[in-house]
Amino acid sequence: MKPENIGITLSGLSKSFGKTLALDNITIKVEPGTLNGFIGPDGAGKTTLFRIFAGLLRPDNGSVGFTSRGTAVPFASIRPSLAYMPSKQSLYPDLSIDEHLVFFRDLYGLGEAEFRQRSSELLGITRLEKFRARKIGELSGGMYKKVGLMCALLQSPSLMLLDEPTNGVDPISRREFWDLLHRLAEQKILILISTSYMDEAERCAFVHLMDSGKVVMSGPPGALLERERAVGFDEIFIKMAKQ
């Protein structure tokens, strides 16, 4: 049975690389079916945390617990329904959009009927139908990120990990990308996105502010801004830096 309503709990999570403490005793709970932003500057620990979420790294201390429909489940049962979009470019520049879709179809083991339906739907919502024969290396930054998202969505995931997906993307493409994420959030997919863009924090249902390997604040963005008497999240980080 496909896992649904996935939730995540981190308890005392820590990770070091040599003498560098990348994650420092993180304890948070991520509610099912929500759009969560992990917000912080470069070097805050966001990518390390997402690699642990994806099972690519193991923590030195603490634990990552997953639930499905409110019941604890092992990560192995979550993995087939997990989509991970890394921060670094991972697509093949010499392959076209269509060729990438076929590649991920085979990777996910999708049947032809399901593949045709999903790929047609995704090409439509990303508005990439006219560019399906174009090579990835010839795409703009915004189009590249849309293809990455489309390949991740091809398997109809229950959990999405998007590490810095809008980094280096122009403002219009960023807005279009977030419009896509909000459409996905309506399907109650658990979406975790990391970003260093402070303005994107307010587009999330919940935010987790990260700095120096710690989650320093969590909650709905409006409530956090009101509590901290701040206009934006950049103001909150400036205040923390002065303390």
The string of pLDDT tens digits covering residues 118-128 is: 899 889 888 89
Q: For residues 130 and 143, give the distance between their C-alpha atoms in angstroms, rounded to a whole number.
A: 12
CB count within 10 Å of CB 161 equals 23
- What range does the domain containing 31 cover? 6-95+157-242
8 A C-beta contact, residue 41 and residue 236: no
Residue 64 burial (C-beta neighbours within 10 Å; 0-12, 13-18, 19+): middle
Domain-embedded: residue 130: no
Output the six-digit token pair for 37: 């932003």
Per cent of the chain over pLDDT 90 is 64
- The CATH number of the domain holding residue 202 is 3.40.50.300
Q: What does the pLDDT read at residue 3?
A: 78
Beta bridge partners of 210: 215
On the question of pLDDT at 1 being above 70, the answer is no
Distance CA 208, CA 211 (A): 10
- Predicted TM-score (pTM) of the model is 0.90
Query: Does 12 have pLDDT greater than 80?
Result: yes
Mean of per-residue pLDDT scores for the chain: 91
CA–CA distance, 53 with 83 (Å, rounded to integer): 11
Residue 182 lies in a domain: yes
Which letter, b or e, does each residue of 181-203 get, where b requires 16 or more Cβ atoms within 10 Å of its Cβ? beebbeeebbbbbbbbbbebbbb
Residue 191 lies in a domain: yes
Structural domain includes residue 48: yes
Domain presence at residue 112: no
**Could you read off the pLDDT of 190-229 as tens digits, one per residue?**
999 999 999 999 999 999 999 999 999 999 999 999 999 9
Structural domain contains residue 126 = no
The tokens for 196 are 């260093």
Do the domain assignments include residue 116?
A: no
**Has residue 131 been placed in a domain?**
no
Domain count, the chain: 1
Q: Round to whole Å and give the CA distance between 136 and 161.
A: 21
Contact criterion met (CB below 8 Å) for 35 and 181: yes
